[in-house]
Structure 1
Amino acid sequence: MQIPSASFAPLSAVTVEAPARLHLGFLDPNGSLGRPFGSVGLTIDERGTRITMRIAEQTRIEGTRTDAERARIERYLEQLQAAWGGPPVAVELLRAPRAHSGLGSGTQLALAVGAAFASLAGRSASGAEIAQLLGRGRRSGIGMLGFDYGGLLVDGGPGHVVDAGGALRSSVPPLLCRHPFPDAWRILLVDDTTREGLHGDDERRGLASLAPFPQALAAHLCHLVLMRVLPGVVQSDFDAFADGITKLQQTIGEYFAPVQGGVFTSPAVAAALEAVASRQTAGIGQTSWGPTGFAFVPGAADAARALATAQEATRGKPGIVCSIVTGRNRGATPRAVDLQKFGVDAG
C-alpha cells in the first residue's frame, strides 16, 4: 500500500495505525535449499500501533513508555530527515503492543513513523521502501508486507538485487502469496507478560549458535505451507490449515528450542495451548520468539471454549493474559487529522 501523501497536503497532521502480526514460522532458516528464511504470517485486528504526527516548530516525542522506545523514534526521525528532508515534527505514540512479545512491535513502530513522516514531507512510500530505509525486514518480510496488504502472507526471504550503479545489495523479502484470512476463524492469544522473546544481541548470538537446518526439514516445511496451510485458507478448510500450522510450528520450534528454552519460550503458554489442542481441533504455536502463543480455531463458539480452557490451565500462574482476536485483511490505515477542530495551532 502506497501512503498517498497528496491527500494529506492541505493538513498538517496524520494518524497512522499499523497492524500487529503473528509470525507463523520460517521455511528455511539458514538457506539449506538455496535461499534463507522465507516466512509465513498473518496480520491481526488487535494489539496494533497507532501514532499521530504533526508539523511543529521543533521535534517532540510524547507517549513513549520507555527510554528505548523514545530513542528508537528519535533514530527513525533522524534517518527519515537525512533521506527526505522535511520539517520538524511532533510525534505522539497513542498505542503500541508490549515490546519483544512476538507481535512485531519494532517493525510496526518504524513503519508507522515512516509513513506518517512521508505524508507530512510530501512523499509517497510503500512499507517495503520505508523498511529498507529504516533497516527493518532483514530476515522476515511479514511485518512490512502486513503493513502494506494485511491478510495471510508468505514472503520469499531476503535476496540480492543489482542497483542502478551495478552494485549488488540486499533486498527486502518479496511477497510470494497473499490471501484474505477467513472472517469466521478466530485466534486465541496467550501472552506471558513476565517474559520477553529473544532480541538484539541475544537473538543474533542465538541464531549464530544453531546447527544447520536440514534440507529435508526445509522441504517438509515448504510442502506444509504449499499443500496444507495455503489450500486450507483458500478453501476455508480449517482442519487442513490447523494441521499444517501445528506441524510447521512443531518442526521450527524444535529447531529453535536450544536457544529459546523449548518449543515454546514460556512453559505456562505451552501448557495453555496444549490443553486447548487436547480438547478441540486447533492450530497451535508461538509467534516469532514469543512468549506469545496462539491457537487458531474455526469459530466464535470454539474461541470461547479455547479461552476458558487456557484460563483454567494457567490459573494461579502470574502474568498470563489470554484474549481472542481475528485476522485483519487490510494493511495500515493512514488518516488525515484536522488540527483546527481541536484548537491546535498547526504551525
Structure 2
Amino acid sequence: MQLHVRRLPPDATVTVDAPARLHLGFLDPNASLGRAFGSVGLVIDGGGTRIEARLAERDQIDGALTEAERERIAICLARLHAAYDPTPVAIEVIRTPRAHTGLGSGTQLALAVGVAFVRLLDHSATPAELAVLLARGARSGIGVLGFEAGGLLVDGGPAKGLHSSLPPLLARQPFPESWRVLLVSDTARVGLHGEAERRGLAALAPFPQALAAHLCHLVLMQILPGAAEADIVPFARGLTQLQQTIGEYFAPVQGGVFASPDVERALRAVAAQCTAGIGQSSWGPTGFAIVASEYDAACALAAAGDATRGMPHIECTVVAGRNRGAEVRRAALRAQRRAHAV
C-alpha cells in the first residue's frame, strides 16, 4: 500500500492503529531445505498499538511506553529524519502491548511511527520500505505483511544476500469470521530477545530436513485448507503438530515446548476439552488456542481458568482474527470536512 497524501496543516494529528500478530511458527529455522525460516502468522483484533503524531518545535516522545521503547522510537525518528525530512514531530503512544511477549509489539510500534511520520510530512513510502529502513522483519515478514493486509499469512523467509528486502508473501488466507483465539499470557515472564535470542538461535542443532518438509506439508495441506474451508479439525491438528515440533526444537533454549509451564498447563487443559489449535507465539510467553466459535472460546476460557486457578500472573483473553491491516486517521481533515458541511 503506497502512502502519500497532501501535506497536512500545522495542527493536524495522524493516528495509527497497528494490529498485533501471532507468530505461529517457522518452517525451516536453519535452511535445511535451502531457504531459512519461512513463517506462518495470524493478525488478531486485540493487543494492538495506537500512536498519535503531530508537528512540533522539536521531537517529542510521550505516552504509555517504557524507557527502552522510548529509545527505540528515538532511533526510528532519527532514521526517518535522515531518509525523508528534518521537520520535528511529536509522537504520543496511546497504547502498546508489553514488549517481548509474542505479539509483535516492536514491529507494530516502528511501523506505526514510520507511517505517521510520512503521512504527516507528505512523503511516499510503503510499509515494506519503512520496515527495511527501521530494521524490522529480518527473519519473519509476518508483522510487516500483517500491518498491510491482516489475515492468516505465510512468508517465504529472507533470501540469502538480500538484506534490503523482506521475506515475500506466499499466501494470505482470510481467517474465518466465526473463529476465536484464546490468548494465555504469563505476566511474570518475557520472551527471548536481543543478544540472548541471537545466542540461543546460534546454539541450536541443525533442524532436520525431514521435519522441515513435514512442517511445510502441514501448512500446505492442513492449516491453509482448514482455514479456507472453515474446518477447524484439520486446521487445529496441523497447527498443534507444527507448534509441538518447533517447540521441541526450541526447547533447549526456552526451557521447554512452551516458555511458561503455567501457560502450557492452561493450553493442555483446553486441548483436552475441545478441538483447538494450541501453541506459543514466537518466544512467548503468550500462548494461544484457536477454536471454531464463541461458544468454544467460552469453554476454552473456562478450562484455562480452572487449570490456572490461584495463579494471578496468568492472564486469559479472547480475541477474533483480523482480516485487515493498520488503520490511519487524520483528525484535522475530518474537522475541516465538518466545517464545510455546516
1:86–1:120: 8 Å Cα contact kept in structure 2? Answer: no
Q: Which one-letter code corresponds to 1:308 in the other structure?
A: A
Supply the AA of the counterpart residue of 1:30.
N
Range with greater deviation from structure 2 (121-130 or 201-210)? 121-130
Q: How many residues align?
A: 335
Residues of 1 paired with 2:334 and 2:322: CA distance?
Answer: 32
Whether the aligned pair in 1 keeps the contact of 2:17 and 2:51 (CA below 8 Å) is yes
Aligned counterpart, 1:237: 231
Note the 1:168-187 alignment, pairs <5 A: 169-187=163-181
SS in 1 for 2:190: coil
Structure 1 outlier segments of 4+, above 6 Å: none
Match of 1:276 in 2: 270
Structure 1 unaligned regions, length at least 5? 162-167, 342-347
Deviations 1:40-64 (A, max 9, x none): 0000000000000001111111104
Per the alignment, residue 60 of structure 1 pairs with: 60
The residue number in structure 2 matching 1:260 is: 254
Maintained 8 Å contact 1:158/1:170: no
Give the CA deviation at 1:339: 8.7
| Cα distance per residue 1:232-255 (max 9 Å; x no partner) | 111111111111100000000000
Judge conservation of contact 2:18–2:326 (CA < 8 Å) in 1: yes
Unpaired runs of 5+ in structure 2?
Answer: 336-342
Asked whether the equivalents of residues 151 and 181 of structure 1 are also in contact (C-alpha less than 8 Å), the reply is: yes
Number of the residue aligned with 2:340? none
- Residue 285 of structure 1 is matched in structure 2 by 279
Q: Deviations over 1:159-188 (max 9, x none)?
A: 157xxxxxx644211111111100000000
Alpha-carbon distance between aligned partners in 2 of 1:340 and 1:301, rounded to the nearest angstrom: 39
Quote the offset at 1:6 in angstroms.
1.1
Q: Structure 1 counterpart of 2:52, which letter?
A: T
Whole-Å Cα distance in 2 between the matches of residues 124 and 233 of structure 1? 35
Q: Report the alpha carbon displacement of residue 268 of structure 1 after superposing the two structures with TM.
A: 0.4
CA displacement at 1:2 relative to structure 2: 2.7
Would you say the 8 A contact 1:186–1:299 is kept in 2?
A: yes
Structure 1 distance, partners of 2:208, 2:106, is: 30
Task: Give the superposition deviation at 1:318.
Answer: 2.9
Q: CA deviation at 1:278?
A: 0.5
Contact 2:180-2:293 within 8 A present in 1 as well: yes
Q: Percent identity?
A: 66
Q: What corresponds to 1:83 in structure 2?
A: 83
Indicate yes or no: 2:117 matched with 1:117: yes
Secondary structure, aligned partner of 1:49: strand
Task: Give the corresponding residue for 1:196.
Answer: 190
* Alpha-carbon contact 2:65-2:96 (below 8 Å) kept: no
Cα distance, 1:125 vs structure 2: 1.8
C-alpha distance in structure 2 between counterparts of 1:260 and 1:293, whole Å: 14
Q: Contact 2:142–2:154 at 8 Å: present in 1 too?
A: yes
Is it true that 1:216 corresponds to 2:215 in the alignment? no
